[in-house]
């Protein structure tokens, strides 16, 4: 009986692998990647109806609420689109409950490269970035608190037939997050943004 169960599990695993693919996500550091503070980053998947599926990558500080001199409730304005989409509640003492194999790390000095596995479905890949104290003439300290400029969000559709022979897909700027973290809406207006637009140089996806 045990042999039969083991064989069935193996068949199910192989069947699942036949309908999955591995991708590589590369985030190229821009001029403002670490100019003031290290950026906070979240990269996640949604379906084409905008429903959250899973987080692929999130920086440790954002996931553990480990902000220097930060309030008890954390800083929802740091990555507001991801926080609202994932319904994630940071915890200082527990492993981040971000479900389904997310990578967590301190912010790397020179960009990010990691692999992820996808089923053969169409996804929307989103990436959000934010640097604290990133002030400019429009987003002043008086007007925008700790955040400075709001988070910036990039996205791209990853089609079901995306494979190793496909051309790499680059995520495009989609808008900004809420300045105070009050909602998870991607605000389309980019007026007033300067250095926030140079946190990253590019975000590219390739199939392996």
* Global pTM value: 0.83
Least confident segment among 25-34, 72-81, 168-177: 72-81
- For the chain, the structural domain boundaries read 23-207
| 159 in Cβ contact with 124 (< 8 Å) | no
Distance CA 139, CA 145 (A): 9
- Dump pLDDT digits (tens) for 26-52: 999 999 998 767 899 999 999 999 999
Region 175-179: mean pLDDT is 95
**Residue 186, Cβ neighbours under 10 Å: how many?**
19
Average model confidence (pLDDT) for the chain? 82
Residues in CB range of 126: below 8 A, 6 or more apart = 43, 44, 45, 46, 81, 82, 85, 153, 154, 155, 171, 174
Between residues 182 and 96, the one the model is more confident about: 182
- Asked if pLDDT for residue 77 goes beyond 80, the answer is yes
Question: Given pLDDT bands bounded at 50, 70 and 90, which one contains residue 17?
Answer: very low
What mean pLDDT do residues 58-71 have?
69
């Amino acid at each position: 009986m045990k042999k039969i169960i083991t064989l069935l599990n193996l068949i199910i695993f192989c069947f699942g692998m036949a309908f999955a693919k591995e991708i590589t996500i590369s985030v190229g550091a821009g001029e403002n990647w670490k100019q003031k503070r290290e950026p906070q980053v979240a990269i996640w998947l949604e379906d084409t109806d905008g429903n959250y599926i899973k987080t692929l990558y999130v920086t440790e500080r954002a996931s553990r609420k480990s902000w220097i001199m930060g309030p008890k409730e954390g800083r929802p304005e740091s990555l507001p689109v991801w926080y609202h989409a994932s319904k994630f509640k940071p915890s200082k003492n527990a492993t981040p409950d971000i479900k389904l194999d997310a990578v967590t790390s301190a912010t790397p000095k020179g960009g990010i490269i990691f692999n992820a596995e996808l089923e053969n479905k169409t996804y929307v890949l989103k990436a959000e970035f934010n640097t604290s104290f990133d002030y400019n003439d429009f987003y002043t300290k008086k007007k925008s608190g700790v955040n400075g400029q709001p988070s910036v969000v990039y996205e791209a559709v990853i089609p079901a037939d995306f494979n190793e022979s496909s051309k790499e897909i680059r995520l495009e700027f989609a808008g900004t997050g809420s300045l105070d973290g009050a909602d998870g809406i991607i605000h389309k207006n980019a007026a007033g943004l300067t250095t926030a637009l140079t946190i990253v140089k590019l975000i590219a996806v390739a199939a392996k």
